[in-house]
Structure 1
């Protein structure tokens, strides 16, 4: 397997990762989805070919292994010679943080099941123990691949005058600066601790890094082992200050290397025989008892417990002292199977700090999102623009500021009487939160549903909840056992003809940072039916008042699954009547067995199904007699695909004006459909309908430059075309949206995408 990785890396380094034969900046205004496709294996370890009968007997992919395949595709972008060097480094660091979270949540969960003797099989029939075995085998290979990629990028960075952890590039003046920095900035905050019976073993926090030193006392030749934990408040790397003669070179040295370099200052009277760096990952999932009486207090306690969770993985340097390693394994309670040794970088995620180097020539061209022309034409009055016609904003190509301005305007408008909003993730510096606080301080009725169970944002959300309550906002925490994942904001405004409600529905979070890199949709409407449904959904969350007569919106866990089933069944029925039948879906994950089985049934009935699934996909496409009418692709590129769109032909050819189109906060996972509050919003306005279906969704279907086909055996391969390449991200960056463009732009200003008959793949 590793040989296959090495071969793949060699091809990537030689710049042949994806041979396009056409300038990568070229873009056709009328690309087609049926161009001939040349498929070359890109999986570092392609699975063996499996017979059709065997595939039918095991019709699902394993969720965890599918996720690792997703991270392989992320790693492949770090090899993409079409990308600037620091962007490749960014993808490498993302792969590291992805794997860390996977270990802390998914692997930790499986370890817990195995320890408790739970042998409930996964969707593909594997027990937790069997899954752990397969995962660890693949993780070992992925980790080696990461290090190979890092070594290649490290060399390329040096050629571009960015030197990482390279003390040979440090001149005498810089050495003096580093010594001073160590003595003044590092030495006061680190604490050496002897590891012996007289000193209890120190606690190593989750994602904590430390150094072990093997020392010999000069006076009596006794050997001791000392530990230094590296405080998380310290950066991973220190940039050596520039000097007049450095020719613009950047030199980075890791904090760990700096401590090792000047360790003698810590241990006078000792000879340092050896040292080694280690890193710890712990179980970071939070489980809440259903009978918890005080949700806030329970979460504060759970966050503290998470920091002390069971050790799931221990990373060590290859030449780690065996005696010191044995102490770590014993004191941390780590089984050898959870140890990863490397002769490369420990903590790949930390390389994100190097990406911040001010080298625009090594990054993607700067991009400034457009502010919707429609709202500008109304002098920035969001309510006037929405009242005229529904509008959908496509992030990050259109500015998230329009969402912030919607809440700000509501806060400042004397005619606004109430604001209600769900908050799943809002970030550490949130203009939306500040606007809600401003609204409350101005005397408006403000209600915020703050989701405490947003993984890894629990602590931040507790902080926001406290600030909101102090300002007079009515803070609701929703259900104990269901996450409120729906993204909705309601503004009630007093107008000449009575009260009018304006709504925002989103596929993404109210998070200003992720809104710049995640592709999401923000839908604004004053449609009375949608607004009445939104009010019922908010009452359901705040007061557990189950809605009795929803008009347009479907809500999980009440009826969202059933609505999607009904739409799929309609396509099955239409196919049986000889009518056009098709399903197009774009989401992040598909793992729910019931939904997969329904799509299999549709395929068997002759419904043509196109799925764009960025991450996990447990559905096995292209199996004769089961799923031969289903194609699955994954898009990995400059921006992270995050929007969820579900479209159904509805008796006419796809894509067309008769199609039933929905946006949603929900992926096709059991947790989204059954254990979260989610929303499914129908798109009825003609212009918005065209934008979502025939611009956003169709462009994703047509993309060739960033897309991968999923095959029946579980392997992924790059999409290649003999025609002109098409990059959906570039298309959106250079073309205004249909509903947000305003009257100033003529219809012809947006190239029309087309879909010829026929399919490839």
Structure 2
């Protein structure tokens, strides 16, 4: 990024792409998320490529790229992205200043502010930080993954040069608030101000902030692990000290200081990313959360009640026994799912609860309800997926607490992550035992349910309940699934089911019927399914794909994909639901799943695909898909060259997420009015 022509090109490209219609503090939040996601990308995806290179793998992938070539391309793209990211950062800081919220540097401090910072440093910062120098008796320290540090060159005795480092403490807020108004200074800038006193008696020649990212994609030998819980706990500890994958440094770092850093952490020059601004923008989330300034955020939105559960004299069990109930989060409240588990925990007629947990919140009310159920004497079996990346530690804590409360806790199948979302409540009713099932596209997480779009289905269908029990028996024991009635499971038969469904549309198209496929997923990577979609398009099947993230299929690429349209929707909420719609000219089939069309989901995870059969629920999902495809505000269309473009439309604009918010409110209001009328006539 040293080339001026390159910089000018990026700045022009960025000016055309940026969207200032989003509220200011929400743009800060999004930039923070982008920074966090990039960290994870390096720790997992880039790390796995580096491992392949280290293992001497030179075989090209399905795109024709060797691991080394992929790494080179990634570095080029990320340098481009980071430069663009900091253009955005600088503009946001300027816009923030107009709102009288200021991030200032030490040179701008007034005398009063300097006095405040001096007191803050000696009373709060100084007792926590520890300066470290490297010499013959003191080796280079182990630098913690993703920690922010300050590297220094210090003048030693006899004109020698000594390397020093100070970790910026994460236990102290990185944004230091100054008195009077919303003025802030970064913690690392405060430490730099007093660096001479940290190394008293020595001259500071140079200093620069730096941050390293380590390999966090640590393999776990499940076959050889006697205790999976203990093995994963050990791997979490090792993650802090994995191989260095990236070094971020301040743009103007002294070359001698940089070379020492590179040598000590054993990193290549290509691993270095020079940052023109504050390193690690995840702190921007704190700015986004500044109290007040509601006008700079999205309007507050509260999840609405589901009409079916808004009936005074009917329990949830009665409602679900009468018909399947579809929930659409975050527009409709996830609290219904929490309430269902709570009611099951206290209901004397409930005999057993079985549930899979992949990612749960830090204070999960669902887990608390499961523990209460066990304490109430119910049979509670919980599959806690310990291998949910970066949530392992949280899940281990919950697993131990669940066990202590009397729950049966299992950790899934060796070599497979259990990603499917499944909840079974077994209840004693008049003359029989009845099972109630909840399945979903997203996690049982009451926090992310507020900003992830997901679909959940409550049903008491006996065939689905039987299938769900078979799946759980497979997970908890050695029971093999011989046949299924309604559900499909990866890695057993989900892939073949998708292939069959696409083949049905190909056959229909060849017979001259109006064949149609609409799929909404987070990622499309699997080679076999992409090839099958190309085949369907060539046969005349009309295909719409709503793929939020990575899509390895290329639409409108000559004859092979002329009938395929791909859009991505990125908005206030994270699009997370997985929907599969198939129409062969006569019959419509709708499925929901926890799985994306990625090889890992179909072959290396336990996933669940379940049908939506109720006519009303089917219609609701079809309307959702139509609305997504009409979005011309938050949607971007994928071009045949792999780039995305805005959808230009001279007609009225439609923001699908905003539309779903308004619709949920209208449905809830109608339901409330109807309820009042019914209550009045009683």
TM tier, smaller: over 0.9
Q: Is contact 1:211-1:228 (8 Å) kept?
A: yes
Structure 2 partner of 1:321: 254
Query: What CA distance in whole angstroms lies between the structure 2 residues aligned with 1:688 and 1:82?
Result: 34
Query: What CA distance in whole angstroms lies between the structure 2 residues aligned with 1:366 and 1:271?
Result: 53
Could you say what secondary structure the match of 2:559 adopts?
Answer: coil
Q: Is contact 2:439-2:458 (8 Å) kept?
A: yes
Q: Is contact 1:374-1:740 (8 Å) kept?
A: no
TM-fit CA distance, 1:369:
0.9
Q: What is the TM-score when the length of structure 1 is the normalising length?
A: 0.85
Q: 1:286 to 1:224 in 2, by over 3 A?
A: closer
**1:594 aligned to which of 499, 507, 528:** 528
1:701-716 matches, cutoff 5 A: 701-716=629-644
TM-fit CA distance, 1:151:
0.9
Query: What CA distance in whole angstroms lies between the structure 2 residues aligned with 1:589 and 1:306?
Result: 26
Q: Is contact 1:647-1:661 (8 Å) kept?
A: yes
Structure 1 partner of 2:209: 277
Greater Cα offset, 263-272 or 390-399: 263-272
Identify, as 1 or 2, the structure richer in helix.
2
Match status 1:230 vs 2:174 = no
Structure 1 partner of 2:3: none
**1:267 aligned to which of 199, 207, 212:** 199
**2:138 aligned to which of 199, 207, 224:** 199
Structure 2 partner of 1:73: none
**1:496 aligned to which of 418, 430, 437:** 430
Query: What CA distance in whole angstroms lies between the structure 1 residues aligned with 2:579 and 2:8?
Result: 39
Query: What CA distance in whole angstroms lies between the structure 2 residues aligned with 1:558 and 1:380?
Result: 39
1:351-500 matches, cutoff 5 A: 351-358=284-291, 359-378=293-312, 381-500=315-434
CA RMSD of aligned residues (A): 1.8
TM-fit CA distance, 1:380:
7.4
TM-fit CA distance, 1:303:
1.0
Greater Cα offset, 1-10 or 421-430: 1-10
- The higher relative CO (CA closer than 8 Å, separation ≥ 6) is in 1
Cα distance per residue 1:577-624 (max 9 Å; x no partner)? 111100000000000000001111100110000000000000111112
Cα distance per residue 1:317-357 (max 9 Å; x no partner)? 12212222222111101111100112212112221111111
Unmatched runs of 5 consecutive residues or more in structure 2? 1-5, 675-682
Unmatched runs of 5 consecutive residues or more in structure 1? 12-41, 43-78, 244-248, 653-657, 747-761
Q: Is contact 1:508-1:521 (8 Å) kept?
A: yes
TM-fit CA distance, 1:215:
2.6
Q: Is contact 2:310-2:671 (8 Å) kept?
A: no
**1:645 aligned to which of 579, 589, 595:** 579
Structure 2 partner of 1:143: 82
Could you say what secondary structure the match of 1:189 adopts?
Answer: coil
Q: Is contact 2:106-2:189 (8 Å) kept?
A: no
Structure 2 partner of 1:668: 597
Greater Cα offset, 267-276 or 481-490: 267-276
Q: Is contact 2:441-2:456 (8 Å) kept?
A: yes
Match status 1:585 vs 2:519 = yes
Structure 1 partner of 2:655: 727
Query: What CA distance in whole angstroms lies between the structure 1 residues aligned with 2:400 and 2:458?
Result: 29
Cα distance per residue 1:229-260 (max 9 Å; x no partner)? 1233332222224x3xxxxx311211111111
Could you say what secondary structure the match of 2:390 adopts?
Answer: coil
Query: What CA distance in whole angstroms lies between the structure 2 residues aligned with 1:678 and 1:297?
Result: 25
Q: Is contact 1:392-1:739 (8 Å) kept?
A: no
Structure 2 partner of 1:749: none
Could you say what secondary structure the match of 1:520 adopts?
Answer: strand
Q: What is the TM-score when the length of structure 2 is the normalising length?
A: 0.95
Match status 1:85 vs 2:24 = yes
Structure 2 partner of 1:518: 452
**1:254 aligned to which of 175, 186, 205:** 186
Q: Is contact 2:304-2:665 (8 Å) kept?
A: no
Query: What CA distance in whole angstroms lies between the structure 2 residues aligned with 1:673 and 1:216?
Result: 59
